[in-house]
Structure 1
Amino acid sequence: MPIKPSLPFIERLLGGRPTGFPNLLVWLELGILRNPYGVLTALVAAWLYIPAALAAAVSLGLYGALLATLFSVVSGDATIFASIVDIPLFGDAMAALSAKTSGVGAAVAGAMAGMAVGLIVGLLWIFIGPFQDGLIDGLAVILATIAMGIGVGLLYTLYRVLLERRLLQISGARRLSRREAELILPLVEEAAARLKLPGHPPVLIDDTDDPGAFAYTRHIVITRGFLEHFAYDREAIRAVLAHELVHWHNGDPVSALFIRGVALPLYLVQAAAGFLLNQTRNSLLRFLIWTVFWPVFVTVRYLVVPTQAVESREAEYRADQGAVLAGYRSGMRQVLSSFRRSFEGGRNGWAAAICASHPPFELRLERLEEPDRAYPLPEDES
């Protein structure tokens, strides 16, 4: 019996990665540098304390509103506006208006002033604070902070790539059963061949009831809920496997890992807080969670996610078109029409926020239309 040659240790350790790259470093480099604006935003948001600036702005805004309201009770709104606004006629008009608002005008003015001062002070503290001891020291602090963020991102990416199989098993993924292998392996091999890929990663099954499919750096995971949702329909399975193969081969999971690693402080808080929100149905507890973690939610939703949205949307369109090029247009439309939401949704607050940046499914369906065919609503699933 011939002895099979043993693979090098690094190849065994990193089995399942795309082989169309010259070496491991090129694969990681292309994935890491795929979305530089997303990396920059994650670096600024997580390591330059943007949530702290937002918290300072709102805290001082509420403090200003409280002080203005108390002062209006003692001295009257007219006194406040007349003393603050010395512009002829305008000050009198504001005082007259405030007299009709029963203190609301003072509270609003105090809140606006407090928020403006808080935001300015917070941002100045973030960006100017390091330079209090001199230009050289300030630059050293900024550069060290940037190096720390990039270093954490690299270490996190390597950790997730190297231990991916074990981490997936801990999260509930398992190997294919005999019957599942007989069904799925020929389909993924066919999809990889049609996409002209030299190979494909191992496919794992997650026994959750939620329909989903996910591309990781060295694995593809498909849920039992997805298989049952489509009654093990081969066309739908082929299409979603082709979609995930494109993500895998293009290094999209590596890019997502690196950005998550750079934003690790935000990621940990957002993931934990988002998990608590998803698990909590009590309105009071949900309000308390929002009260504590809102600066992180706002930073991720309105700063980090928008800078990732452009690349995220293009990656989804590329993966959809990959399924079309493989000959699975109808299957991809079947999957998108059935869900009308992301089948790649995450299990925590961070992943859910990032998946929210995916393009609307109607626009994805539009890009999958054949030129000479009509696609009226409602969707014809036949």
Structure 2
Amino acid sequence: MVLTMFLLGLLYVVFVSVLISLGVRAVVVLLIAGGILLVQFFASDRIALFAMHGRVVEPREAPALHALVDRLCALADMPKPRVAIADSDVPNAFATGRNQRTSVVCVTTGLMRRLDEPELEGVLAHEMSHVAHRDVAVMTIASFLGVVAGLMTRVALYSGLGGRARDDRGGPPVGLIILLVSVVVYAVSFLLIRALSRYRELAADRAGALLTGRPSTLASALTKISGDMARIPTRDLREAEPFNAFFFAPAVSGRTAMAALLATHPPLERRLEQLARISADLGRGV
């Protein structure tokens, strides 16, 4: 994760340096991208709940679910997030919010029907690890460069590709250079952000397993959810796919050769292998 964040930061520096060397006044683009970033940063919890039709529930409405969250908060010594339920048959869960004070942990009704209590606790521990480590804020900030590059691509497409927009040495149009640089930066930042997302999912698996002390139940939940996902109607999976970056397990309606590189989550096999190693370490008292 440190290497990926370093590469993202290096990409920021290179991209801005290129824009400055070309004499581009990107103030408007940066302001727009900054506005998008602020909306995502401060309203991610409300946006995610609204998009997933989630509803915050009180302890009297879901006492068993609240009891699990209370226990995990006591084990982790962290403030209790809001608890929500989304009426969806897609078995999944997600956590959102820029910090622990504004965080929400949401589970779907499909998940609650399919998992037993220890498995559900393992999933909740994974999601609360995201809350504790402020993963939503980290991923939002990391995606900022991609937003800037995407906007710069559009600006270059609509305003900078004319033959008159050449540099002082009669070289290629400045707009074309900006377009090419923006496309490359967007592509590289997209791949790095996806890699960072996969690393953070593995870290959340590890933290959740260590918090409960039962990696096998988290592995069982992963296996059960991934198996049941294939039985969910394709239309429902496609509707849920835009939120894969938030989910405990990706809602996948199909696979391609590039799936592993573009995925927001590590392959199931890698997650299960890590949990098996943690289980063995705990068995040895490590």
**TM-score interval, normalised by the smaller of the two chains:** 0.5 to 0.7
Gaps of 5+ in 1: 1-33, 49-126, 131-136, 269-294, 375-382
Structure 1 pair 336/305, CA: closer, same or farther in 2 (3 Å)? farther
* TM-score, with structure 1 as normaliser: 0.47
For the Cα contact (< 8 Å) 2:146–2:185, is it kept in 1? no
Instruction: Map 1:209-288 onto structure 2 (within 5 A).
Output: 209-217=89-97, 218-230=103-115, 233-264=116-147
CA shift for structure 1 position 188: 0.8
- Paired residue secondary structure (1:35): helix
Alignment of 1:174 with 2:55, yes or no, is yes
* TM-score, with structure 2 as normaliser: 0.61
- Paired residue secondary structure (2:62): helix
The answer for the alignment partner of 1:194 in structure 2 is 75
- Paired residue secondary structure (1:371): helix
The answer for the alignment partner of 1:80 in structure 2 is none
CA shift for structure 1 position 195: 2.1
For the Cα contact (< 8 Å) 2:198–2:263, is it kept in 1? no
Structure 1 pair 181/349, CA: closer, same or farther in 2 (3 Å)? closer
- Paired residue secondary structure (2:113): helix
Residues 1-49 of structure 1 deviation map (CA, whole Å, 9 limit, x = unaligned): xxxxxxxxxxxxxxxxxxxxxxxxxxxxxxxxx935346658989x99x
Alignment partner of 1:358 out of 255, 265, 268: 265
Structure 1 pair 322/153, CA: closer, same or farther in 2 (3 Å)? farther
Letter in 1 for 2:221: V
The answer for the alignment partner of 1:159 in structure 2 is 39
Separation in structure 2 between the aligned mates of residue 315 and residue 362 of structure 1, nearest angstrom: 16
Alignment of 1:368 with 2:275, yes or no, is yes
For the Cα contact (< 8 Å) 1:43–1:262, is it kept in 2? no
The answer for the alignment partner of 2:206 in structure 1 is 321
Separation in structure 2 between the aligned mates of residue 151 and residue 35 of structure 1, nearest angstrom: 23
- Paired residue secondary structure (2:137): helix
- Paired residue secondary structure (1:336): helix
CA shift for structure 1 position 148: 5.8
The answer for the alignment partner of 2:64 in structure 1 is 183
Structure 1 pair 226/159, CA: closer, same or farther in 2 (3 Å)? same
Letter in 1 for 2:108: T
The answer for the alignment partner of 2:160 in structure 1 is none
Letter in 1 for 2:242: N
Structure 1 pair 259/238, CA: closer, same or farther in 2 (3 Å)? same
Aligned length: 220
Task: Give the CA RMSD over aligned residues.
Answer: 4.2
- % of aligned pairs identical? 26
The answer for the alignment partner of 2:242 in structure 1 is 348
Letter in 1 for 2:280: P
The answer for the alignment partner of 2:167 in structure 1 is none
